[in-house]
């Protein structure tokens, strides 16, 4: 994967999750029980995302173009 695309994959995810936690904390408060549940939810999502990124095999061009034909993109 091109480094720029990989960086985008990491940054977009973590910035979004941090934004969600910040937005949630504006509603549930900081250091409350609900706040820690929001943080736990974001941490679980982060672990799952890191695992998915590390474990996703690089598809070959055939896989990639087959996906585009199936879902009508590119």
Partner 1 sequence: MTRMAVFWILIPLFIGVLFIGLYRNLLAKLAVIFGASGRFIPWRDVDAAALGQAYADEVVFQRRIRLRGRVPWTRHILISWGFSVLFVFDLLTALLTKYLPSEPFLDGNVGWLFLKFGLNLSGMVLLAGLLIALARSVTTAGTEHARFNDTPGTAFLLLVVVTGFVAQGMRFANVPPQPGYGWALLGYWMGEAMRAGAPYAGSHAFVWVTHALLASAFLAYLGWSRMIHVFAAPLGRIFYSQTALREAKVRPVMEGLLKPRAGSR
Pick the closest to residue 1 from 51, 43, 57 (CA basis): 57
Smallest distance from partner 1 to CB 16, Å: 6
CB of 31 to partner 1, least distance (A): 14
**Which tokens is 6 given?**
């990989």
- Nearest to partner 1 of 4, 31 (CB atom): 4
What are the start-end ranges of the H helices in 29-60?
A: 33-55
Nearer to partner 1, 31 or 59 (CB): 59
Q: In the numeric block, which tokens belong to residue 27? A: 């509603």
For 45, counting Cβ atoms within 10 Å of its Cβ (0-12 exposed, 13-18 middle, 19+ buried), the class is middle
Q: Site residues (CB under 8 A) for partner 1?
A: 1-2, 4-6, 8-9, 12-13, 16-17, 20-21, 23-24, 26-28, 34, 37-38, 41-42, 44-46, 48-49, 52-53, 56, 58-61, 63-65, 67-68, 70-74
């Amino acid at each position: 994967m091109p480094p720029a695309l990989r960086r985008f994959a990491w940054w977009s995810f973590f910035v979004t999750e941090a934004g969600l936690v910040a937005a949630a904390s504006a509603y549930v408060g900081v250091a409350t029980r609900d706040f820690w549940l929001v943080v736990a939810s974001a941490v679980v999502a982060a672990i799952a995302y890191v695992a998915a990124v590390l474990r996703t095999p690089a598809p070959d061009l055939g896989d990639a173009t087959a996906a585009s034909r199936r879902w009508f993109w590119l």
